[in-house]
Every structure is written in structure tokens, then in C-alpha cells.
Amino acid sequence: MSEEEALARRRFTALSLIRLGGAACLTVGLLATGGKIVVPQAVGIVLVLLGLAGFLVIPRRLARKWKSEQR
């Protein structure tokens, strides 16, 4: 495996793990805001926001940053 392939594999793994963590936070946050998990509603809202960021925003920004570094 070349160095470029190894770098691409590590980046793909990082993006996948970030998305997975975001999805987990989002799920727990939605359960908390829906009253299925006994935590304060503010905690649920924070988890939803962090989950959305981890699932949608952060991976896109990282991919854009990494793409611009290659040029």
C-alpha cells in the first residue's frame, strides 16, 4: 500500500468514526429530549446539537480541508 493510500484510508476511517459518534450523540440526545432517558432536557438538547455537528458539519469541513491540502 502506498503512502497516499494509507493516508486516504486513515482519513476515511476518521470521517467514519466522527460520523458514527455524531449519530450516537444525536440518538441519545433525541431519546433524552423525548423523555425516554432520564436526564435534564438541556443535556438532551446539547447532545442533539453536538450530534448534528459531528454528523453533518465536522466531516464536511475536514474533507474540504484535506482536499485543499492536496492541491
Cell numbers for 69: 491540502
* pLDDT over 80 at 71, yes or no: no
Q: Is the dihedral of CA 38, 40, 44, 47 positive or negative?
A: negative
Contacts of 30 (CB under 8 A, 6+ apart): 44, 48
Q: Residue 47 corresponds to which cell in the numbers above?
A: 447532545
Domain edges within the chain: 3-66
Amino acid type, 38: V
- In tens, the pLDDT along 3-62 reads 989 999 999 999 999 999 999 999 999 999 999 999 999 999 999 999 999 999 999 999
Residue-averaged pLDDT of the chain = 94
Instruction: Please state the pTM of the whole predicted model.
Output: 0.86
DSSP 71: -
Cell numbers for 43, please give them.
443535556
